[in-house]
Structure 1
Amino acid sequence: MSKSGTDMRHHKKPIISPLRYPGGKASLYTRLRAIVRANDLTSGTYIEPYAGGAGAALGLLVTGQVRRIVINDLDPAIYAFWKAVVSEPLAISRRIEKVELSVKEWARQKDVYLNAPRDDYLNLGFATFFLNRTNRSGVLNGGPIGGMDQTGKYKIDARFNRDALAERLRLIALHAKRISVTNLDGMTVIKRYSKRDNTFIYADPPYFEKAGSLYLNSFDQSHHSSLAACLNSVSDAKWLLTYDNVSRVADLYADRRREIFSLNYSAHRVTKANEVMVFSDSLTVV
């Protein structure tokens, strides 16, 4: 296994996603762009089966590195947000402009998040967005920045820059016709697109360690094993996988190329962690 000393902090990246995501991979934009170009996929479709914040996907699309992207997330709340952003961007933007940034409103949006019908994309999607921008570290099951009594150093509006967020939505809306949003199991998406030409799958599933507190849909051991069986069975497709750097990854992907990289990680506090990339056999790696 090769080891890269590259620190992903120093790569310039477009910040397009309106969501804050612990361990988000927008910082891999430069590397992913190079891989897309090296594999002659600039006219192709880029797929994220476990999209979350979809930072890398949106960066590649908006800067013209790929023609289309697929944002998939099994979590109904995250799916509702992306569905609303793509289909009703003006409605979301108006709410960003007018919503009150208070603990009272936070409690109302929390209730919507917990109780709204799963197909009420606009209300559920906006509630998801509101909590993501006003909760500590963006974790949806967390509490508001500054605490319920707002005595913390930072207040509930600290990560809710209305103008900047509206601009990100405007950029996404310009490219909405080239964005597909789905609410499927990630392996279903991998199987579907691995059979198609001119596609690149970037899988960033919930990780082995601390997944329950950081991700809305955490995996157990059987999920990790099933995903490995799925990806290993389509090693002739073009895909890249990222994981936390644990020994189990080397066991599950013993026949695939792997590379360690470092990444800034933000959830409650900022740290730098080693993670691992796994490459399909047919992918040209740069």
Structure 2
Amino acid sequence: MTGTVRVVAARRYGTLSPLRYPGGKAALAGLFADVIGELGVRNCTYVEPYAGGAGAGIALLREGLVSRLVINDIDPAVHAFWHSVVNHNAAFVDWVMEVPLTIEEWRSQRGVYRSKPADLDQLGRAFFYLNRTNRSGVLNAGVIGGQDQGGRYKIDARFNRSTLAGRICALSEFAGAIEVTALDGRTVIERHRRRRTSFLYIDPPYVHAGSQLYLNAFDGRDHQALAEAVNRINGAHWLMTYDESPFIQRLYGKHFQAALDLNYSARYPGKASELVVASEQVGRVLTESSEACRASAGA
């Protein structure tokens, strides 16, 4: 591993995703903007094969820093949410403003989510409801405040209607530039691996926290198969984040690797606790940026 790459992004973007997501990476948008700019990628397509909350991609698209955004998630409920807000935006906004915030409604939406209906709007709404009313946004966690609502915070603590409606409504302006898919992440990587105008941010389920944070947790074979797909990329620019693991470091031994010390880490604030793996050109930009930061600090 190269060492620690310290990157101070030129700008931090606010929270623009409507979702609360464990391990969300919206805070990396500034870093990606800097890297894409340094690489000189024009008409960039930003791709997240494991999108989740897609916070960084939304920020880049809204700021005009990328031309297209590919949001992919194989989880049917996550896909249903993004499909609904992109394709039926106004109806989703109306629902956000009107849906009851009660334990009775929570139980109803939980039932819908568990039944995984074929209707994407229905499933997407149920997913969003639980994401905003469950503890930490975790789908299999309990409701905020408990079912007796005896806790300090209540079911509506993270469901600010006007804020969420605003974030969702803002996406309607960019719907034509957003592609939503429900494919295996490796398939998405394969589609873009030769495209020099694509920038892939690959944030797969982590090794140690996978079963706790992700509904589609990886096992060792999944991590191995992903590494094989990444090793075949021969045109697109890409960057991955993983938890620090000797297993992962061995899988990506021929690529740039470093501990990522971002001044506002998304998962572990203030700690260099993540492994970044990157394509050769992206790794060069990260190294040069880190060296510039050290030189500035020592001046």
Shift of 1:215: 0.8
Distance in 2, matches of 1:220 and 1:174, equals: 38
Question: Are 1:73 and 1:185, in contact at CA under 8 Å, matched by a contact in 2?
Answer: yes
Partner letter of residue 261 of structure 1?
Answer: L
Paired with 1:95 and 1:147, the residues of 2 have a C-alpha distance of 24
TM-score under structure 1 length normalisation: 0.93
Structure 1 distance, partners of 2:183, 2:18, is: 22
Distance in 2 (alpha carbons) for counterparts of 1:192 and 1:6: 30
- Give the Cα separation in 1 of the matches to 2:6 and 2:40: 26
Task: Note if 1:112 corresponds to 2:115.
Answer: no
* 1:254 partner SS: coil
Q: 1:52 & 1:264 partners in 2: Cα distance? A: 14
Counterpart secondary structure, 1:200: strand
Q: CA deviation at 1:7?
A: 7.7
Aligned CA-pair RMSD: 1.8
Contact 2:194–2:235 (CA under 8 A) maintained in structure 1: no
Question: Counterpart of 1:265?
Answer: 267
Instruction: Confirm whether residue 3 of structure 1 aligns to residue 1 of structure 2.
Output: no
Confirm or deny that 1:103 pairs with 2:103. Answer: yes
State the percentage of identical aligned residues. 44
- 2:62 alignment counterpart: 62
**1:222-261 equivalence runs, <5 A:** 222-261=221-260
TM-score (norm 2): 0.89
- Name 1:21's counterpart in structure 2: 21
Deviations 1:244-272 (A, max 9, x none): 11111211111111121242438xxx895
Mapped partners of 2:87, 2:124: distance in 1: 11
Equivalent position of 2:45 in the other structure? 45
The 10-residue stretch of structure 1 (93-102 or 34-43) with the greater mean CA deviation from structure 2: 34-43
Could you tell me which residue of structure 1 aligns to residue 285 of structure 2?
285
**Corresponding position of 1:85:** 85
Superposed CA deviations along residues 179-222 of structure 1, whole A, max 9, x for unmatched, are 00000000000001112231111100000012111012110000
Number of the residue aligned with 2:71:
71
Per the alignment, in what secondary structure is the counterpart of residue 285 of structure 2?
Answer: coil
Report deviation, 1:241. 0.7
Question: 1:103 Cα shift?
Answer: 1.0
One-letter amino acid of the structure 1 residue matched with residue 105 of structure 2: E
What do the CA deviations read for 1:34-55 (whole angstroms, capped 9, x no partner)?
A: 0111112241211000000000
> Counterpart of 2:114 in structure 1: which amino acid?
L
**SS of corresponding position for 1:265:** coil
Displacement of 1:170 after TM fit? Answer: 1.4
Check the 8 A contact 1:15/1:55 in 2, yes or no. yes
How far 1:6 sits from its partner (Å)? 4.9
- Number of residue equivalences: 281
Are the structure 2 counterparts of residues 11 and 40 from structure 1 closer, same or farther at C-alpha, using a change threshold of 3 Å? closer
8 Å contact from structure 1 (residues 72, 186) kept in 2: yes
Higher strand share: 1
Residue of structure 1 in register with 2:292 after alignment: none
Corresponding position of 1:165: 164
Alignment match, 2:295: none
Distance 1:162 1:273, change over 3 A: farther
Q: Secondary structure at the match of 1:285?
A: helix
Kindly indicate whether the alpha-carbon contact (under 8 Å) linking 1:236 and 1:281 is maintained by their aligned counterparts in 2.
Answer: no
Kindly tell me: are residues 142 and 42 of structure 1, through their superposed partners in 2, closer, same or farther at Cα, counting changes over 3 Å?
farther
SS at match of 2:167: helix
Gaps of 5+ in 2: 287-299
CA distance in 2, matches of 1:105, 1:247: 45
3-state SS of paired residue (1:231): helix
Give the match's secondary structure for 1:258: strand
Which of the pair has more CA radius of gyration?
2
1:198/1:7 CA distance change after superposition, 3 Å: closer
Q: Distance in 1 between matches of 2:104 and 2:271?
A: 35
Q: Residue 271 and residue 161 in structure 1: after superposition, are their counterparts in 2 closer, same or farther (change >3 A)?
A: farther
Cα distance in 2, alignment partners of residues 275 and 74 from structure 1? 24
Q: Which amino acid aligns with 1:4?
A: V
